[in-house]
């Protein structure tokens, strides 16, 4: 296989200042190949969002390598970093479009930002995510939640990315809208051969859109494998508990007793990482 | 922005008053029936007449002409002070938000230091140091109103600087300057507009106080505050005398505050609109 | 529904509606919860599920009123006819409730154990010492590993999952017959959510507590409840035994909820296996 699109190895990230400074990721490895869809799952405090933000340079890596499409992004600073970002190779979709879109700018302005000849391209980008180009004149507060997130995806897609990072892109949406946005994302990635790093705590939306899963627990990768492997035959006790805790509609989940056993096992884990 | 101000009744009246005062200030030299400095020993402390609409003062100078000339000086001085305050307040505030913690710390301490200075004492000290002139006094006033602008600008800019849409812009390769122009500035302008209006009123009061005390102005030059001071000394001879400059000062300050209120409440600028838009 | 005739239901709601001055937000909702039963109400924001709960608890937000034809009967008592004194004997004592944001229901400056003990003294009439012992026992029952430590801790020192357990302890402290949990696990992590749901199921088994579980997630409700009601735009669009609703949803909205899980949830692999096998 050719060089992966995203290559993270031995990534250590510490956040905070002075005495508050804490290690969030302690040596994480991860790859996303071209056109591959990787799910990064974990709960509060697992470091999944920190990892995503470090990949795009919103946090600084303390150690480890971070290569995006062959470029060592940890070495980029200032104007070179901006130039790399303007190239649009990596795009990021945030959880809540109400926060990631400027409330005072029209959707058209937000989507067309940094594009030299916005005219038709904005309309095309909106059409590509299933939005009426007429919505370009509206502000984020004037459209529905699903339309807002579609606009945020349009903003990412207009840059013609090779790697798309989505941080909980559907958890702010209603169940019905959720599926539509997931359909849209998986369709776009397949159509354009985009590599997807999909970050979520919600297994209910991850399984259908990812080829591989990486399970993050307190800053460590505890399990990786194909999505089917991880979901049907998880190895690490935490992964087993995580999969067994996901509410399902088929009644095929784990029993209460088994969950209780796994919790006890994890509570007595040598690294003392208690779940409660 | 003007349309939303005029939408309220207070706003309309305030704008009308300010336009009237501005006309007095601009057209003063042409409207004045007499030379404001010309002394007429024949008519000292005269009452209102066809010759002297508002009478004459203790040296026989035409009060109406002096008021008109004083309008120009008082208003220009207040505007000057506000302009100095704007530059010294808004620029450091924006820099404090975007240039990292060192600049933030320094500018915060500097502004706190300025706030502790007593207004009049500082202005008096400045004129003593730099020479007794209106420019020096207004520079002093400008420095003193700067913290007001600083605080308001910083309060408006700070949440924007940490907003996720700014992160999104940075990820799209936006430079700090682009972020400032595109995202921060539009949110700062309404707040600064409100402060400008209310601090203009405050500056006018300070200008009037200083000139009332004789600071920043040398005697023959007419200003509203200076005229108020002289007229007060001849209260028995011309009991209505102090009212005219006083009313002008009060009306102008009231109008400035009225505009500030109208701006703040304007539906197009208020925070409620943004919240409502989000909920809807 | 035939069982209703044999065993009188604990809670019966007939033709529940909620109105503002000029619009109707909820209408025609019928519910019934058997003693020891578990009813799930599913719907997205604005579906009227929370207003339904609040109507039962008699705590509709200001400006809203229940419909004239609405009848709510709890264990033989007509709740619509209760005055403030009457509610004292029902709300908190016979019907407990937990909501989405546990931190906002606790005083941030008082240790959680003392707050729980105070509830026990006021509602159950226990003495100081007895209340403390009972509070510690309740916290232990909630699966909190070190009840004595939690007793002394302040709300900000506890995680969301622990806070929600403390709130459940408060809600069931007077040994109510019914617990209403309105999006009580929504803000929690998946594994913590499962812990809280397991706790509710345990409580139901051990104490015969009846549950009304409200959630936007059909799967959460399905995990605990026997009966499910699906609401949308203020009306009930589908109801039935949980297994029936999940296996053969009739309303398109319910079908889309189940379909979402089948396509994007972890069920897709199990369903595939089932199809292959």
- The proportion of chain A whose per-residue pLDDT surpasses 70, expressed as a percent, equals 95
Residue C187 pLDDT greater than 50, yes or no: yes
Q: Chains B vs C: touching, with 3+ CB pairs under 8 Å?
A: no
Residue A164 CA to residue A212 CA, distance in Å, equals 15
Which stretches of B32-100 are DSSP H helices? 63-98
Say what the pLDDT of residue B269 is. 52
What are the beta bridge partners of residue A9?
A: A65
What is each CA distance from C76 to B67, C5, C15, C67, in whole angstroms?
Answer: 85, 14, 17, 20
**How big is chain B, counted in residues?**
280
**Placement of tokens 């300010």 in the chain:** B18
Instruction: Give the pLDDT of residue A2.
Output: 65
Distance (Å, whole) CA C27 – CA B273 = 32
What's the whole-number mean pLDDT along residues A235-261? 86
Q: Which two tokens stand for residue A237?
A: 């006790």
Q: Rounded CA gap, B72 and B22, in Å?
A: 8
Residue pair A140/A111 in contact (Cβ under 8 Å)? The answer is no
**Dihedral Cα B137, B142, B147, B152, nearest 10 deg:** 150
Q: Percentage of chain C surpassing pLDDT 90?
A: 39
Domain parsing of chain B, residue ranges: 2-279
DSSP letter at B269 equals T
Residue of C nearest to A255 (CA): C198
CB distance A149 to A129 below 8 Å: no
pLDDT, residue A276, reads: 37
Q: How many cross-chain Cβ pairs, A to C, lie less than 8 Å apart?
A: 135
Cite the DSSP H helix spans in chain C: 3-6, 49-57, 84-88, 112-119, 128-141, 147-152, 160-172, 190-207, 218-224, 242-247, 252-264, 267-276
**B101 exposed, middle or buried (CB, 10 Å; 0-12, 13-18, 19+)?**
exposed
Q: Tokens 């004492």 label which residue?
A: B121
Q: Give me the residue from A176, A182, A243 closest to C264, CB to CB.
A: A182
Q: What is the mean pLDDT of chain B?
A: 80
Subunit contact A175:C260, Cβ cutoff 8 A: yes
Residue C192 contacts residue A246 (beta carbons within 8 Å)? no
pLDDT at C2 over 60: no
| Average pLDDT across chain C, whole number | 87
Distance CA A5, CA A102 (A): 30
What CATH number has the domain bearing residue C47?
A: 3.40.50.300
Summarize the confidence of residues B139-161 as an average pLDDT.
89
Residue partners of C253: CB distance under 8 A and separation at least 6: A176, C230, C232, C237, C238
With 0-12 / 13-18 / 19 or more C-beta atoms within 10 angstroms meaning exposed / middle / buried, residue C248 is exposed
List Cβ<8 Å contacts ≥24 apart for A270-276.
A271/A218, A273/A217, A273/A218, A274/C145, A275/A241, A275/C191, A275/C192, A275/C195, A276/C144, A276/C145, A276/C159, A276/C161, A276/C162, A276/C192, A276/C195
Check residue B270 and give its pLDDT.
47
The predicted pLDDT at position A157 comes to 92
Residue C82 pLDDT = 84
* Assigned domain for C126 exists: no
pLDDT band for position B275 (cuts 50, 70, 90) = very low
pTM of the model: 0.82
Nearest CA in chain C to A242: C191
Mean pLDDT of B257-278: 61
User: What domain range includes position C92?
Assistant: 3-105+177-276
**What pLDDT, on the 0 to 100 scale, is given for residue A249?**
84
Residue C113 lies in a domain: no
The architecture in CATH of the region B2-279 reads Orthogonal Bundle (1.10)
Q: Which of C243, C266, C268 sits opposite A246 (nearest CB)?
A: C266
Q: Please determine, for residue B279, whether its predicted confidence score (pLDDT) is greater than 50.
A: no
Residue B199 has pLDDT above 50, yes or no: yes
* CA–CA distance, A238 with A124 (Å, rounded to integer): 44
Is C233 a member of any domain? yes
pLDDT reported for residue A194: 93
pLDDT of residue C215: 92
Partner residue facing C261 (CB), from A43, A245, A248: A248
* C-alpha distance from C246 to closest chain A C-alpha (Å): 6
Say yes or no to pLDDT of C276 above 80.
no
| pLDDT greater at residue A93 or residue B267 | A93
Q: Considering only CB atoms, which chain B residues are within 8 Å of A103?
A: 165, 274, 277-278
End-to-end CA distance of chain C: 35
pLDDT of C164 above 50:
yes
Are A215 and A246 contacting, i.e. CB atoms less than 8 angstroms apart? no
Pairing label, strands A63-68, A71-72 = antiparallel
For residue C252, being part of any structural domain is answered with yes
Residue C74 inside a domain? The answer is yes
pLDDT for res A275? 42
Domains of chain A, CATH where assigned = 6-230 (3.40.50.300)
Asked, for residue C67, whether it belongs to a domain, the answer is: yes
d(CA B42, CA B126): 40
pLDDT digits (tens, 9 = 90+) for B250-263: 888 888 888 888 88
| Cα distance between residue A247 and residue C242, in whole Å | 14
d(CA B50, CA B54): 9
Share of chain A above pLDDT 90, in %: 49
Q: Tens digits of per-residue pLDDT, B73-113?
A: 888 888 888 999 999 999 999 988 888 788 889 999 999 98
3-state secondary structure (DSSP) of residue C65: strand
C268 at A interface, C-beta within 8 A: yes
Report the C-alpha gap between C25 and C235 in whole angstroms. 9
pLDDT exceeds cutoff 70 at A82: yes
Q: Is A261 on the interface with C (CB under 8 A)?
A: no
Alpha carbons A89 and A226: distance in angstroms, whole number? 25
C275 interfacial to chain A (CB closer than 8 Å): no
Chains that touch B (3 or more CB pairs under 8 A): A
- Rounded Cα distance, A263 and A259, in Å: 6
Residue C215 dihedral angles phi and psi, to the nearest 5°: -155, 160
Q: Tell me the per-residue pLDDT of B19-64, one tens digit each, with 9 for 90 and over.
A: 888 888 788 777 777 777 777 777 777 677 767 767 777 777 777 7
Most confident of A154-163, B113-122, C59-68, C180-189: A154-163
**Cα separation, C244 vs C190, whole angstroms:** 25
Cα separation of C164 and A130, whole Å? 40
* Beta carbons of A174 and C271 less than 8 Å apart: no
Reported confidence tier of residue A272, pLDDT bands at 50, 70, 90: very low
Average pLDDT, chain A: 88
Mean pLDDT of C243-255: 90
Give the least confident one: A181-185, A236-240, B46-50, C95-99: B46-50
Can you give the pLDDT at residue A187? Answer: 93
Q: What is the pLDDT of residue A253?
A: 74
Q: For A16-67, write each residue's pLDDT tens digit.
A: 888 888 889 999 999 999 989 999 999 888 899 999 999 998 898 999 999 9
Higher-scoring residue by pLDDT: C183, B210: C183
d(CA B204, CA B212): 12
Cα→Cα distances B271→B268, B275, B276, Å: 9, 6, 9
Beta-carbon-side half-sphere exposure of residue C59 (alpha carbons within 13 Å) = 14
Q: C-alpha angle A216/A219/A223, rounded to 5°?
A: 30
What ranges in chain A are assigned the alpha helix state H? 48-55, 78-86, 97-100, 107-111, 118-128, 145-157, 175-192, 203-206, 227-232, 237-245, 256-267
In this structure, the dihedral spanned by the alpha carbons of residues C175, C181, C185 and C191, taken in order and rounded to 10 degrees, is 50
pLDDT band at C135 (very low <50, low <70, confident <90, very high): very high
Cβ–Cβ below 8 Å for B165 and A92: no
- Say what the pLDDT of residue A30 is: 94
Residue with tokens 């994480």: A28
pLDDT of residue B272: 39
Instruction: Please tell me which of the candidates B167, B171, B278 has its beta carbon nearest to residue A103.
Output: B278
Give the H or E element holding residue C73.
strand C71-74
Residue B276 pLDDT grade (very low, low, confident, very high; cuts 50, 70, 90): very low
pLDDT bucket at B2, cuts 50 / 70 / 90: low
Q: Quick check: C188 pLDDT over 50?
A: yes
- Record: contact B170-A85, CB cut-off 8 A: yes
Q: Tokens representing C122? A: 């006021």
Average pLDDT over residues C30-51: 91
| A255 inside 8 A of chain C by CB | no
- A15-39 b/e (C-beta count within 10 Å ≥ 16 → b): beeeeeeeebbbebebbbbbebbbb
- Percent share of chain C, pLDDT over 70: 95
- Closest-CA distance of chain A to residue C155, Å: 15
From A100, A64, A68, select the one nearest A85 (Cα to Cα): A68
Answer yes or no: is pLDDT of B214 > 80: no
In a 10 Å sphere around its CB, with 0-12 CB exposed, 13-18 middle and 19+ buried, how is residue C3 labelled?
Answer: exposed
Is the model's pLDDT at B280 over the cut of 50? Answer: no
pLDDT for C231 beyond 90: yes
Distances (CA, A) of A170 to A10, A103, A200, B203, C228: 29, 20, 9, 52, 25
pLDDT score recorded for residue B267: 59
- φ, ψ for residue A25, nearest 5 deg: -120, 130
Lowest mean pLDDT across A264-273, C56-65, C103-112, C227-236: A264-273
Is the CB of residue B182 less than 8 Å away from at least one CB of chain A?
Answer: yes
pLDDT band at B1 (very low <50, low <70, confident <90, very high): low
Closest residue by Cα to residue A169 from A49, A59, A11? A49
CA–CA distance, C104 with C92 (Å, rounded to integer): 17
- Specify the pLDDT at position B190: 86
Instruction: Convert the pLDDT of each residue in A168-205 to its tens digit.
Output: 998 888 877 888 899 999 999 999 999 999 999 888 78
């Amino acid at each position: 296989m050719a060089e992966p699109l995203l290559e993270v190895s031995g990534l250590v990230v510490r956040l905070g200042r002075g005495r508050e400074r804490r290690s969030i990721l302690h040596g994480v490895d991860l790859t996303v190949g071209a056109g591959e869809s990787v799910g990064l799952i974990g709960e509060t405090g697992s470091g999944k969002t920190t990892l995503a933000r470090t990949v795009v340079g919103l946090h600084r890596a303390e150690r480890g390598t971070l290569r995006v499409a062959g470029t060592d992004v940890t070495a980029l600073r200032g104007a070179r970093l901006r130039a790399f970002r303007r190239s649009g190779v990596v795009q990021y979709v945030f959880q809540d479009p109400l926060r990631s879109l400027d409330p005072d700018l029209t959707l058209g302005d937000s989507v067309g930002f940094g594009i030299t000849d916005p005219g038709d391209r904005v309309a095309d980008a909106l059409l590509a995510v299933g939005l009426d180009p007429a919505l370009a004149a509206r502000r984020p507060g004037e459209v529905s939640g699903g339309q807002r997130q579609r606009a945020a995806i349009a903003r990412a897609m207009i840059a013609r990315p090779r790697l798309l990072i989505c941080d909980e892109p559907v958890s702010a949406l209603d169940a019905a809208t959720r599926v539509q946005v997931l359909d849209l994302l998986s369709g776009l990635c397949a159509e354009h051969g985009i590599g997807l790093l999909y970050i979520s705590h919600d297994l209910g939306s991850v399984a259908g859109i990812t080829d591989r899963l990486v399970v993050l627990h307190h800053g460590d990768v505890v399990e990786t494998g194909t999505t089917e492997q991880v979901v049907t035959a998880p190895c690490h006790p935490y992964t087993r508990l995580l999969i067994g805790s996901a509410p399902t509609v088929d009644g095929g989940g784990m029993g209460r007793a088994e969950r209780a056993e796994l919790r006890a096992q994890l509570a007595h884990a040598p690294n003392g990482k208690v779940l409660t | 922005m003007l349309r939303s101000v005029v939408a309220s009744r207070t706003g309309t009246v305030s704008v009308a008053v300010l336009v009237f005062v501005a006309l007095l200030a601009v057209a003063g030299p042409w409207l004045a029936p007499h030379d404001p400095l010309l002394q007429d020993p024949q008519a000292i402390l005269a009452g209102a007449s066809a010759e002297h609409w508002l009478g004459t003062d203790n040296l026989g100078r035409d009060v109406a002409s002096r008021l008109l000339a004083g309008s120009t000086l008082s208003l220009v001085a207040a505007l000057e002070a506000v302009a100095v305050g704007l530059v010294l307040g808004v620029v450091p505030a924006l820099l404090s938000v975007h240039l990292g913690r060192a600049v933030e710390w320094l500018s915060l301490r500097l502004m706190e230091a300025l706030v502790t200075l007593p207004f009049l004492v500082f202005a008096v000290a400045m004129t003593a140091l730099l020479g007794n002139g209106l420019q020096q006094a207004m520079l002093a006033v400008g420095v003193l109103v700067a913290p007001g602008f600083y605080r308001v600008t910083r309060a408006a800019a700070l949440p924007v600087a940490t907003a996720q849409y700014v992160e999104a812009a940075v990820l799209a390769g936006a430079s700090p300057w682009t972020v400032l122009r595109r995202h921060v500035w539009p949110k700062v302008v309404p707040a600064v507009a409100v402060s400008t209006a209310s601090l203009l009123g405050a500056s006018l009061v300070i200008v009037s106080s200083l000139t009332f005390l004789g600071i920043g102005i040398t005697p023959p030059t007419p200003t509203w505050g200076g005229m108020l001071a002289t007229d007060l000394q001849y209260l028995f001879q011309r009991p209505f005398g102090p009212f005219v400059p006083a009313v002008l000062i009060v009306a102008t300050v009231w109008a400035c505050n009225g505009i500030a209120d109208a701006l703040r409440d304007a539906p197009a600028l208020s925070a409620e609109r943004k919240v409502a838009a989000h909920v809807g | 529904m035939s069982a209703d005739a044999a065993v009188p239901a604990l809670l019966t709601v007939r033709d529940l509606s909620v109105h503002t001055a000029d619009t109707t937000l909820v209408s025609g909702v019928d519910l019934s919860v058997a003693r020891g039963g578990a009813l799930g109400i599913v719907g997205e924001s604005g579906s009227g599920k929370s207003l339904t709960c609040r109507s039962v608890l008699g705590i509709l937000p200001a400006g809203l009123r229940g419909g004239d034809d609405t009848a709510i009967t709890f264990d033989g008592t007509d709740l619509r006819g209760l005055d403030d004194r009457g509610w004292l004997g029902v709300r908190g004592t016979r019907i407990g409730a937990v909501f989405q944001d546990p931190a906002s229901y606790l005083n941030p400056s008082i240790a959680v154990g003392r707050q729980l003990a105070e509830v026990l003294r006021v509602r159950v009439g226990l003495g100081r010492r007895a209340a403390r012992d009972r509070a510690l026992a309740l916290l232990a029952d909630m699966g909190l590993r070190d009840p004595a430590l939690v007793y002394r801790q302040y709300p900000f020192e506890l995680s969301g999952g622990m806070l929600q357990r403390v709130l459940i302890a408060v809600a069931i402290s007077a040994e109510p017959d019914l617990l209403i949990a309105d999006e009580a696990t929504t803000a929690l992590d998946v594994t913590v959510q499962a812990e809280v749901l397991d706790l509710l199921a345990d409580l139901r088994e051990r104490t015969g507590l009846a549950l009304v579980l409200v959630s936007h997630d059909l799967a959460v409700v399905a995990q605990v409840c026997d009966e499910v009601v699906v609401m949308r735009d203020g009306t009930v669009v589908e109801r039935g035994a949980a297994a029936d609703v999940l296996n053969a949803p009739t309303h398109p909205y319910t079908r889309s909820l189940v379909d979402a899980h089948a396509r994007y949830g972890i069920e897709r692999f199990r369903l595939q296996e089932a199809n292959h096998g």
